[in-house]
Chain A
Amino acid sequence: MTASRGRPHGYRDRRERRRPLARAVKRGRWFAPALVVALALALAFLTLPVVAIFVRTSPGNLIGALDDPGVLDALWLSLRTTLLALAIIVLVGTPAAYLLATRTFRGHALVVTLVELPLVLPPAVAGVGLLAALGPAGIVGGYIADTGVRLALETAGVVVALTFVAAPFFIRGAQTAFAAVDRSWLEASRTLGASEARTFARIAIPAAAPGMLAGLALAWGRAVGEFGATLIFAGSFRGRTQTAPLAIYERLGTDFDAALALSAVLVVVSGTLLLSAKLLGGQGTETLRAAR
């Protein structure tokens, strides 16, 4: 610490320590404060709509809105369909992600891009595509309809739409998690007498679990909020295909308070899912890192 002319060394330090930002600015170090300002702006912008939802909903309204059977139907339907979609995604997506993560083959990059395509597809496009493929007049839908199974405008159709839009989130997260598993762990398991399948179950999955769960939480969040594809493929029939976001949309014009209340519920749910994703993902990485 340089001493200033004339003044005792310690005196200047004490005063400056109390106002570090001012000192930084005075010394021309504007960079750190500028970073803080940027973060504050971003935070304010991103949290304002969420705060507004809660501010404009009185607790009375919230409870009242939850009394509406249509709202309860929508929430229950959202829960059922998202859980079902997740189950399918996990059962099919986990082995698929493992293959992508542990093997290379010709066209690997292409396959990964195709799997991630729904991520960049506008939801409306996804809905149209699902109708074109799986609707009664669709390229595959015709055969499905012949077997008596109906998807469009049915609850099963909601599950299909949710699976379509949310799967890439899980597969991508699971793929990253599997790829991060130390290859030598998998090889060690093989040399110790475990087959590939056993290695997958006992080593790969537990080691990748935190990352997979984080991906699952994101997929669930996406599924809960899914709107466009569901509306087009499954319609908005109350109790049957009207999920929570669709219920919000229906109430926008006529009962904005109900829309607010339902939005508040969804914010809480999505926030919880996102938080758990962060915690699980962070905790997992630490375990893996420290295990080396």
Chain B
Amino acid sequence: MRGCLLLALLLTIILALGIAGCGSSGDDGDGDDVLVSAATSLKSAFTSYGDQFDDAEARFSFAGSDELAAQIRSGAKPDVFAAANTKLPDELFAKGLVERPQTFATNRLVLAVPADEAKVEAIEDLTKPGVTIAIGSEGVPIGAYTRKVLDRLGAAERKAILANVRSEEPDVGGIAAKLGQGAADAGFLYVTDVAATNGRLKAIELDAALQPEVSYGVAIVKGASHRKAAQAFVAGLLDGAGVAALKQAGFGLPRIPIRER
């Protein structure tokens, strides 16, 4: 009987602690946290911006933009959604799940290879047999952009390159990991991702004709719990500390003028 009581006591303590723990990290009241779901390619830029963001504790969840969008479509409510394209935020806006999106950055697609490898030096090398390539899956922005690039090549080249694709990753982190570990010879990444690897990968520029238009969109999620902090975050992204962080990571600024302040 004594053993039973002890166990019950232990369980009760754990439960109490747990609930307390949950509570403290949960609704602490507006302004303490701001939840930002962002594309993986924004990791270093947003992390550095988040360190400087004073209005609230910026908490990030980095994953493929399509996966984050799916979460929001299923009802999850982060405060801010930042995607590697404008298509996904626009779709969510059309569904009434987010407020009007704004373009806050641009990026460039490059061919990434391990820094010490000489196997692939130009995009033509990708058609050679025996070359392994890692690209993003169809739904994630990096994958969609890559397919646009391939479309702009000849049909034969496209076919040959696709035949060499060994892996379709859910986000740029996966592609970078495969390349970093030598599991693939080459992959399509953003130039900012290559910069973030600190020299482990090197970037091979693509012809301007092949380059798709890569624009990043951000939107505040409707029904977000920390709306004020979210607004401050987005504001800083468009015209504040966020801009500097983006620039430092290698992002470009939007070509079209900022729509709203």
Binding site for B on A (CB under 8 A): 80-81, 83-84, 86-88, 90-91, 128, 131-132, 135-138, 141, 150, 152-156, 159, 201-202, 205-206, 231-232, 235-242, 249-250, 252-254, 256
In whole Å, how far is A72's beta carbon from the nearest beta carbon of chain B? 15
B100 interfacial by beta-carbon distance below 8 Å: no
In whole Å, how far is A230's beta carbon from the nearest beta carbon of chain B? 11
In whole Å, how far is B221's beta carbon from the nearest beta carbon of chain A? 10
Given contacts A150-B26, A202-B1, A253-B177, contact A137 B75 (CB under 8 A): yes
In contact, B15 and A131 (Cβ under 8 angstroms): no
Residue of B whose beta carbon sits closest to that of A76: B21
In contact, B175 and A253 (Cβ under 8 angstroms): yes
In contact, A205 and B77 (Cβ under 8 angstroms): no
In contact, B71 and A235 (Cβ under 8 angstroms): yes
In contact, B174 and A253 (Cβ under 8 angstroms): yes
CA distance A1 to B21 in the complex (A): 72
In contact, B61 and A237 (Cβ under 8 angstroms): yes
Q: Tell me whether chain A's interface is mostly helix, strand or loop, or mixed.
A: helix
Q: List 13 A-B contacts (CB under 8 A).
A: A84-B17, A84-B18, A84-B21, A87-B11, A87-B18, A152-B75, A152-B77, A154-B25, A156-B22, A235-B78, A250-B173, A253-B176, A256-B180
Most A C-beta atoms less than 10 A away, residue of B3, B15, B18, B176: B18
B39 interfacial by beta-carbon distance below 8 Å: no
Chain A residues with CB under 8 A of B43? 250, 254
In whole Å, how far is A93's beta carbon from the nearest beta carbon of chain B? 12
In contact, B21 and A153 (Cβ under 8 angstroms): no
B172 interfacial by beta-carbon distance below 8 Å: yes
In contact, B174 and A83 (Cβ under 8 angstroms): no
CA distance A152 to B33 in the complex (A): 15
Chain B residues with CB under 8 A of A236? 61-63
In whole Å, how far is A103's beta carbon from the nearest beta carbon of chain B? 22
Q: Tell me whether chain B's interface is mostly helix, strand or loop, or mixed.
A: helix
Chain A residues with CB under 8 A of B62? 236, 250
Chain A residues with CB under 8 A of B60? 237-238
In whole Å, how far is B141's beta carbon from the nearest beta carbon of chain A? 16
Given contacts A236-B62, A238-B59, A239-B59, contact A254 B22 (CB under 8 A): no
The 9 residue pairs across chains A and B that have the minimum distance between CB atoms: A137-B75, A253-B176, A84-B18, A253-B173, A136-B75, A235-B61, A135-B75, A252-B177, A131-B74
Residue of B whose beta carbon sits closest to that of A148: B27
CA distance A252 to B180 in the complex (A): 9
B204 interfacial by beta-carbon distance below 8 Å: no
CA distance A208 to B181 in the complex (A): 47
CA distance A238 to B78 in the complex (A): 13
In contact, B76 and A235 (Cβ under 8 angstroms): yes
B14 interfacial by beta-carbon distance below 8 Å: yes
In contact, B37 and A253 (Cβ under 8 angstroms): no
